[in-house]
Homo-oligomer: A and B are copies of this chain.
Amino acid sequence: MIDRVLELLRSRQYVALKQLISDMHEADIAEVFSEISDRDSMLRFFRLLPKQTAADVFTYLEPDIQQKIIEAITDVELRSILDDMFLDDCVDLIEEMPANVVQRVLRNTPKDERALINRYLQYPEDSAGSLMTNEYVSLKKGMTAGEALKEIRLTGVDKETIETCFIVSRDRKLEGEVTLREIVLADPDTLVDDLSEDYIISVQTHTDREEVANLFSKYDVTSIPVVDQENRLVGVITIDDAIDVIVEENTEDFEKMAGMNPSDETYLKTPVWQLARNRIVWLLVLMVSAMLTGAMLEHYEAAIAAIPLLVSFIPMLMDTGGNCGSQASTMIIRGLALCEIEGKDLFRVWWKEIRVALLCGAVLATVNFIRITIQYHDSGIAAVVCCTLVCTILIAKSLGCLLPMLAKSLKVDPALMASPMITTITDAASILVFFRFALAFLSARL
C-alpha cells in the first residue's frame, strides 16, 4: 500500500492518489511520510490531504517530520491544523519542537488557548499534568440523565473525551463520574449523582505518569480525572495516552536494564553518536569495575602458574554467576514495576531466591562434578569448582533480589540494578571465592 502511494506521488497521478488516500487510516498515511525523503514531495503530499484528514495525520507524525512540515507551510495552513488539534496533542507537539518552531506555533494559536498551553507546559514531563486534556464534559450536581444527554449533545462535539463525564460541584470540586453508556441506558429522570460510582479513582497533577498507567490496568477504567490539591477537577487522562506511557516506560526499563541511558526516539531515528553516547557511560563504569576483578587475578598468579587448568573454569563461573544474577534481578525489577512486589516482601523474596539458588546450584554442580571427574580425573579441582559454583549462585541470586529492592527503597530506579551491574559484582565475587577454595583444597599442589 505504502509503495503504491509513493509510486503515485512520484508520477504525480494526484486523482488516483486522492482516491487511494481516502480509503486509508490516518495512522497509515502518517507512515508514508516516514518513507518520503525530500521535503518538497513531503509538502506536496501533505497539501493533497483534505483539511480535517491533514490535522489528524499531523498528530500521528514523528516529531522530526512535524517540524519539517511546520517549517515549510504558511501561517494560514498552520493555523488550520492547530485549530483542529486537541489541546493535549498540541502540548505534546510543543514539548518536542525547538524554540523557534514553538514560537511560531504559539503565535498561531488563539490567545485563550495559548494561556492554557503555557499552564500545561509547566507540569513536569513525567507527571499526570503533562498527560491530561481539558477537553471533557463536566456535568453539574443534581442534573438528570436527560439533561446530561442534552448538555453532551450541546458541548460534546469539540471534546476529546465524552465517554466518561464528570460531575462537579459549584466550586468545581470533583463529586462523581458517569459514563455516556450509563446516561444513555438510564431512565432520563434519574439523577446523574445516582448513576455515579461511589468510589472514584482520581490522581493529582503531580502524580507520576507510570503510577497513572498502572491505575488504568489495575482498575480497568478508560479515563481518570486529574484534580488539584483542593480536589478541584483540572483535567482528564484518557486510556490511549496511558497505553503510550506503558509502552514508553517499558522501553525505558529495557534500555536501562541493558546498561543504556534511555533515548526518546526510535532506534532507526536516533543518530549514531547519540546511540554511542547513551551506551558509553555505562560501558566505562562497568569496564573499570571489571578491571578491578582482573586486578584480583594478579594476586593469584602463583596458583595459576602451578595449576594452569584453573583458568579454564573462569569463563564458566563468571557467565553462570552473571546469568543467575540477571534472572533474579529481572524478576524482581519487573515485579516492583508492576507493584506485585513491595518493600515489605524483602525477606520473603530473599528466602525464595536462596532456595531457588540451592536447587539450581545443586543441579549445575552435579553436572560439573561428573564432567570434571570424567575428563580430568581430578576430584580436587572438581570439588573446588562445585563449591565455587554453589557459592556464586547464592551470591548472584541474593544480589539479584536485594540490590533492586534496596534501590527502590532509596528511590533510585531499580532497573539500574539489572544484569550488567549484578554481573560485574558477581564476577569479582566468583573469582575471589574460586581461588579461596583452590588455596584451601589444593594447597598441597600450589
Knowing that A253-B254, A258-B329, A294-B314 touch, tell me 10 more A-B residue pairs with CB under 8 angstroms.
A25-B199, A251-B334, A258-B419, A266-B338, A268-B341, A283-B360, A283-B364, A289-B319, A290-B316, A304-B311
B23 touches A324 (CB 8 A): no
Q: Is A330 an interface position by the 8 A CB rule?
A: yes
Where the two chains meet, the residues of A that have a C-beta atom closer than 8 Å to any C-beta of B are 22-25, 27, 149, 152-153, 156-157, 162-163, 180-181, 184-185, 198-199, 201, 216-220, 222, 239-240, 242-244, 246-247, 250-251, 253-255, 257-260, 266-268, 272-273, 275-276, 279-280, 282-284, 286-287, 289-291, 293-295, 297-298, 301, 304-305, 308-309, 311-316, 318-320, 322-324, 326-327, 329-335, 338, 340-341, 345, 348-349, 352, 355-356, 359-360, 363-364, 367-368, 371, 419-420, 423-424, 427, 431
Chain B positions within 8 Å of A287 at CB level: 316, 319-320, 364, 367-368
Which of A24, A309, A331 has the largest count of B CB atoms less than 10 A from its CB? A331
In the complex, which of the residues B157, B259, B367 contacts A326, with contact meaning CB atoms closer than 8 Å? B259
Q: Name, among A149, A184, A348, the residue most crowded by chain B CB atoms within 10 Å (CB to CB).
A: A184
CB pair B340–A268 under 8 Å, yes or no, is yes
Docked complex Cα distance between A201 and B28 (Å) = 11
Docked pose: A259 CA to B420 CA in angstroms? 14
A312 to B297, CA, bound (A): 5
Q: Complex: how many Å from CA A283 to CA B362?
A: 12
A294 in complex: contacting residue of B149, B243, B291, B313, CB < 8 Å? B313
Given contacts A216-B243, A243-B246, A359-B272, contact A254 B330 (CB under 8 A): yes
C-alpha gap A360/B352 in the complex (Å): 39
Q: Cβ of A163 and Cβ of B185 under 8 Å apart? A: no
Can you sample 14 A-B contacts with CB below 8 Å? Answer: A156-B185, A216-B243, A222-B222, A239-B239, A247-B338, A250-B250, A260-B330, A260-B331, A280-B359, A280-B363, A287-B316, A297-B315, A298-B308, A323-B420
Which of B25, B199, B201, B219 contacts A201, CB < 8 Å? B25
Q: How far is the CB of A274 from chain B (nearest CB, A)?
A: 9
User: Do A258 and B199 touch across chains, with their CB atoms under 8 A apart?
Assistant: no
B-side contacts of A371, CB under 8 Å: 291
Nearest-Cβ distance from residue A78 to partner chain B, whole angstroms? 23
Known: A218-B27, A364-B283. A258 touches B327 (CB 8 A): yes
The verdict on A181 contacting B199 (CB below 8 Å), with A222-B239, A284-B364, A294-B314 known, is no
Q: What is the minimal beta-carbon distance from A144 to any residue of chain B, in angstroms?
A: 16
- Which of chain B's residues have a CB closer than 8 A to the CB of A280? 359-360, 363-364
What residues of B have a CB within 8 angstroms of the CB of A216 in the complex?
A: 243
CB-nearest residue of chain B to A286: B323
By the criterion CB–CB under 8 Å, are A290 and B315 in contact? yes
Whether A356 lies near B180 (C-beta < 8 A) is no
Find the residue from A247, A280, A323, A368 having the highest chain B CB count within 10 A.
A323
Q: Give Cα distance in the complex from A219 to B29, angstroms.
A: 11
Specify which chain B residues have a CB less than 8 angstroms from the CB of A250 in the assembled complex: 246, 250
Closest to A431 in B: B315
Q: Report the separation of the CA atoms of residues A275 and B242 in the bound assembly, to the nearest whole angstrom.
A: 31
Residue from B220, B251, B283, B293 within 8 A of A338 (CB atoms): B251
Query: Complex: how many Å from CA A243 to CA B238?
Result: 13
Contacts of A282 in B (CB 8 A): 323
Q: How far is the CB of A368 from chain B (nearest CB, A)?
A: 8
Residues of B within 8 A of A349 (CB): 267-268
CA distance A345 to B294 in the complex (A): 39
CA distance A424 to B260 in the complex (A): 20
Closest to A319 in B: B290
Q: Which one of A268, A282, A419, A423 has the highest number of Cβ atoms from chain B below 10 Å of its Cβ?
A: A419
CB–CB B157/A185 < 8 A: yes
Q: Which partner residue on chain B sits nearest A297 by CB separation?
A: B312
A364 to B290 alpha-carbon distance, docked (Å): 13
- In the docked arrangement, what's the CA distance between A164 and B345, Å? 42
State A427–B318 Cα separation when bound (angstroms): 10
Check A318–B315 contact: CB distance below 8 A: yes
The interface residues of chain B lying within 8 Å CB-to-CB of A254 are: 253-254, 257, 330, 333-334
> Which residues of chain B have C-beta atoms less than 8 A from A324's C-beta?
279, 283
